[in-house]
Amino acid sequence: MRDVTVSRNYAETLFELALRHEGLEVYGDAMARVATILDENPEARAFLETPRISSADKKRVVRKALEGTVPQAFVNFLLIVIDKRRQRLIRDIAREFFALMDEHLGRLHVEVTLARAPAEGVEDQIASTLSEILGKQAIPHLRVKPSILGGILVKAGDTVYDGTLQRRMATLRRKLLATSLPSA
């Protein structure tokens, strides 16, 4: 639980830096770049996270890798993260930063489950319809699950909208079983 709080605090600091300096998109791109490197490159992650390598060496590599390609304030932020020995939280800080960014920009990530892959253009239609319903820009993350038989299942935060054929059939089954037949 403590790591979540620490990550959130660092993300809020980075968010404030982004608002004051080059902007959210620039800092978002920089953070996405760093998070992707750490996610896709176990050697880079091990280099930053291992206590055997001095902070000075880590900072030198970070400076060399990022200076000139991302804002200097962002590089300084990462150097402070390393100084405070929080580099193992960089990916968590990135997640929290993107959550703050989405909240600020009025975006909402939504899980959408369909029975089969959507036809061309349906994803855009789903996004626009959900945006209208939810009052925020919906970013759908589609997945296919044939077991729902048909319809759509939407999870937006803690709310679930279940319009699946599977649920409708289960509801119909319960109603039919609960109905008493007239005796002859």
Q: Which residue has the higher pLDDT, 183 or 74?
A: 74
For 37-48, what is each residue's pLDDT tens digit? 999 999 999 999
Cβ-based neighbour number of residue 154 at 10 Å:
20
Band of the pLDDT at 67, cuts 50, 70, 90? confident
User: Does this model's pTM top 0.85?
Assistant: no
62 occurs within a structural domain: yes
184 occurs within a structural domain: no
Could you say which of 103, 127, 157 is where a domain stops?
Answer: 103
pLDDT at 1: 56
Could you give the count of Cα atoms lying within 13 Å of 180 in the half-sphere of its Cβ?
3
For 14-30, what is each residue's pLDDT tens digit? 999 999 988 889 999 99
Could you say which of 69, 103, 137 is where a domain stops?
Answer: 103
One domain for residues 159 and 75: no
One domain for residues 95 and 115: no
Looking at the DSSP bridge assignments, the partners of residue 162 are 153
Q: How many domains does the chain have?
A: 2
Band of the pLDDT at 181, cuts 50, 70, 90? confident
CB 112 within 8 A of CB 164: no
- Overall average pLDDT of the 65-85 stretch: 92
For 108-126, what is each residue's pLDDT tens digit? 999 999 999 988 888 899 9
